[in-house]
Amino acid sequence: MQSTSPRFRENAGEALRDASLQRALRNIPTGFIKKRQKAADRMPEFEDLRDAARDLKNRTLANLDFYLEEFESKVVANGGTVHWCSNAEQAREAILCICRLVGAETVTKGKSMIGEEIGINDFLEENGMTPVETDLGEYIIQLRKEPPSHIIAPAIHVNKEQVAEAFFEAHQDLDADRNLDQPTALLAEARGKLRERFLAADVGITGANFLIAETGSSVIVTNEGNGDLTQILPRIHIAIASIEKVVPTLDDASTLLRVLTRSATGQEASVYTTFSTGPRRAEDPDGPEQFHVVLLDNGRSEMMGTEFQEMLRCIRCGACLNHCPVYGAVGGHAYGWVYPGPMGAVLTPSLIGVDEAGHLPNASTFCGRCEEVCPVRIPLPKLMRHWRELEFRKGNPAIRFRYGLKAWALLARMPWLYRRIMGLAMHTLAGWARGTGVLQKAPLAGGWTAHRDMPAPEGATFQNQWRAHVARNRDSGT
Amino acid sequence: MDTRDRILGHIRKGLGRSGPVSSDEAAALRAGLANPKPNLVPARSQVDRFDQIELFVAMAEEAAATVDRVGRLEDVPKAVSSYLASQNLPSDIVMAPDESLDTIPWDDRGMLSIRRGVPEPSDEVGLSATFSAIAETGSLMVTSGPHHPSSLNLLPDTHVVVVREDQIVGAQEDGWVRLRKSVEENGGLPRTVLFITGPSRSADIEQTLLMGAHGPRRLHIVLVESRDSDGGA
Ligand code: SF4
């Protein structure tokens, strides 16, 4: 996928002025945040499970090469093939090659961030095939020709009127006067349309939440069942996954699943959790005849042994996005590449280079909520700060937020203030959005002060505002 | 150098090694894979059999499955036909060619018309058995195999599953223990191990939860009491 990350500030400004996007983003707090909290509260061992999840990911990374080789040998023993790919281009070619071998026309797809990362849909289309996203959210954004804006809820920025519009446009064989006002009607229509596609598909591509070294299995988690139909019905199943998805055993996957589902959607378990191993067996009445794993590196192996190795624990739950005031204000597209929010701010510069994505680690209030909720305890603020320091030292012009660093240092020494800003951040970013939309002042400069009745003159330096703010807080005895 | 070696080389360099793990370490790691141990298993499901059964029912219902408890295998056909009637569903069923369903006296209930095999797109009701069931989450643990088509779990709009109480285990980890035992006895992992927790759903349109996305709109569990309560599968 082509990145627009260098335009983060402009993207963000546009996002803040986009009324329908702002309406859609307002669903996040009531949805994901509350559900996660409820699910976490209900599991007495939740914090211990997070520790266990972190530890087992660390254990795996400490011998990642071993587990990848074991995984491969188990895939092969079960009749499948592993394709090692250094970069997006190799992964695209590997997939195209498999599709061509069976003369594929229709290729169904389950939701996969790696699919976005390598831009597989456009590529297959250029090569004369019809890729069809089958996750409802992905289908919607595929029709709208836009990338996902959230790693769990790809169409979270779209409202139902826009979905209806996309369906009227795409499904012209249906009655033009049909009523698509209700979400149920939209779902029914998508289900019908996609059923045809599932049954026609020659190749099914899914992502993988985990790969299991013990068995050579790939694991997917869905609520719709689209991932299962994608891999059961066509002749070929291709699972695309990045190298850090491997875990040692089935039991390890069980541990991660407990924190994944709760952190992602607040569910006790997703509706469908599928462990797939090799192609269908000789006597099986259904299932794919071939099983391929396209294993993508794309810069991850270079993160090993660096501070950013910790990021390879990420299980893509999306909790850090849901709890991020910056994400909540600007949505996912502003980040300009596949991975938005705090996890994207850390991961994207590693994968596409800091020259492209150097802005992203600045898209933070350093409120610390992301780290508080991360199920595998990735110190996201620390890693963002680390990028900023690296860039600052290099004198990279992408870093125009130097005061941000100082502000962070100040905040870090004053936990009470830090917490207050955290509490305010959600409101203030939206408020700041409705104002001038001048992003370079936010979030530490103009943002929260505006909501505190403090007439900060336009163009006042951050330090001035800061001093005023500190004085005011002291007066109010906080 | 091929791609595989290059990727592994980068990883090893990052880990401060010039080559693969030593053969001693590899043996230790391999032993870990051969004898997998559970990590922390929440206490919720580590209760006695009776409570596990109750937990399974409660969690399955919470996930929007419906559960009908019957006393004997003989009661299953009647339970199935009354369920279908209550939902205004046709009594034509496509049923897994699973031998464990053969002990059920289907003929006693003339109202059901049963075909064994793989579902067609037009089939509205599918019926299958399960490998195991997980109390912690109210999930069914179903495996694919010669007598268990995977598509039966997904294609028909209504999925009816017959579960015996003695198939219920506490946590997913307990399910893995059963699976590994069965692999040892019968040879080879099944192509698919699927955990099903309630009927299909989507919240992709404005985060409104809607049932019946691509998989079944209804998941109905007929839970058969196990008389000899310790009889594990
Ligand atoms: S960084 Fe943590 S919270 Fe964010 S998506 Fe990854 S696992 Fe989830």
Instruction: Dump pLDDT digits (tens) for A299-327.
Output: 999 999 999 999 999 999 999 999 998 88
Residue of A57, A136, A152, A228 to mutate for B, most B C-beta atoms under 10 A: A228
Ligand 1 contacts (CB < 6 A) are A 263, 314-320, 343, 373-376, 378, 380
Q: Where are the domains of chain B?
A: 1-35, 45-228
A375: distance to nearest CA of chain B, Å?
15
For a pLDDT cut of 70, what percent of chain A falls above it?
82
Q: Which pLDDT score is estimated for A396?
A: 58
CB contact under 8 A, A187 and B212: yes
Question: Residue A264: pLDDT above 80?
Answer: yes
Q: Which pLDDT score is estimated for A154?
A: 85
User: pLDDT (tens digit, 9 = 90+) per residue, A362-400?
Assistant: 878 888 999 999 999 999 999 999 988 887 777 655 444
Instruction: Please list every residue in chain A whose beta carbon sits closer than 8 Å to the beta carbon of residue B144.
Output: 280-281, 284, 286-287
CB contact under 8 A, A159 and B206: yes
Q: Which pLDDT score is estimated for A439?
A: 36
Instruction: Please list every residue in chain A whose beta carbon sits closer than 8 Å to the beta carbon of residue B136.
Output: 268
Q: Give the three-state DSSP class for B2.
A: coil
Least confident of A74-83, A171-180, A467-476, B67-76: A467-476
State which residue of chain A sits closest to B27, comparing Cα positions: A66
Instruction: Place B179 in a pLDDT band, splitting at 50, 70 and 90.
Output: very high
Instruction: Please list every residue in chain B whose beta carbon sits closer than 8 Å to the beta carbon of residue A225.
Output: 154, 200, 213-216
Q: Which pLDDT score is estimated for A300?
A: 96
CATH 3.40.50.10420 corresponds to the domain A43-298: yes
Smallest CA separation from ligand 1 atom 2, residue? A374
State which residue of chain B sits closest to A184, comparing Cα positions: B210
For a pLDDT cut of 70, what percent of chain B falls above it?
96
Q: Where are the domains of chain A?
A: 1-36+323-397, 43-298, 413-476
A85 close to B (CB below 8 A):
yes
Q: What is the mean pLDDT of residues B66-70?
A: 98
CB contact under 8 A, B121 and A153: no
Q: What is the mean pLDDT of residues B44-52?
A: 97
Parallel/antiparallel/unpaired status of strands B158-164 and B168-169 = unpaired
B183 close to A (CB below 8 A):
no
User: pLDDT (tens digit, 9 = 90+) per residue, A85-131?
Assistant: 999 999 999 999 999 999 999 999 999 999 999 999 999 999 999 99
**B65, B71, B76, B81: CA torsion to nearest 10:** -70
How many C-beta atoms surround the C-beta of residue A151 within 10 A? 23
Q: Which pLDDT score is estimated for A437?
A: 34
CB contact under 8 A, B14 and A305: yes
Question: Residue A238: pLDDT above 60?
Answer: yes
Q: What is the mean pLDDT of residues A221-227?
A: 94
Question: What is the distance between the alpha carbons of residues B69 and B168, in angstroms, rounded to a whole number?
Answer: 14
Q: Which pLDDT score is estimated for A445?
A: 34
For a pLDDT cut of 90, what percent of chain A falls above it?
62
The more confident residue out of B205 and A85 is A85
State which residue of chain B sits closest to A189, comparing Cα positions: B213
Q: Which pLDDT score is estimated for A132?
A: 94
Q: Which atom of ligand 1 is nearest to the CA of A313?
A: 7
B54 close to A (CB below 8 A):
no
Average pLDDT, chain A: 84
Q: What is the mean pLDDT of residues B202-223?
A: 91
**B88 CB burial (10 A radius; 0-12, 13-18, 19+):** exposed
- The arrangement of secondary structure in B45-228, i.e. its CATH architecture, is 3-Layer(aba) Sandwich (3.40)
Instruction: Place A478 in a pLDDT band, splitting at 50, 70 and 90.
Output: very low
Q: The whole model's pTM is what?
A: 0.88
B 158-177 residues inside an 8 A Cβ radius of A? 171-173, 176
Question: Residue A422: pLDDT above 60?
Answer: no
Instruction: Please list every residue in chain A whose beta carbon sits closer than 8 Å to the beta carbon of residue B42.
Output: 43-45, 49, 258
Question: What is the distance between the alpha carbons of residues A456 and A431, in angstroms, rounded to a whole number?
Answer: 14
Q: Which pLDDT score is estimated for A29?
A: 66
Complex-level ipTM beyond the 0.90 threshold:
yes
User: pLDDT (tens digit, 9 = 90+) per residue, B89-122?
Assistant: 999 999 999 999 999 999 866 689 999 999 998 9
Q: What angle do CA A469, A471, A473 make, to 5 degrees?
A: 70
**A425, A430, A433, A439: CA torsion to nearest 10:** 30
List the beta strands (DSSP E) in B152-204: 158-164, 168-169, 192-196, 201-202
Helix, strand, coil shares of chain B, percent, nearest 5, are 35, 25, 40
CB contact under 8 A, B201 and A224: yes
Instruction: Please list every residue in chain B whose beta carbon sits closer than 8 Å to the beta carbon of residue A229.
Output: 151, 154-155, 214-215
Q: Which pLDDT score is estimated for B157?
A: 95
Structure tokens at B228: 């000899």
Q: What angle do CA A386, A210, A58 make, to 5 degrees?
A: 45
Q: Which pLDDT score is estimated for A193?
A: 92
State which residue of chain B sits closest to A250, comparing Cα positions: B176
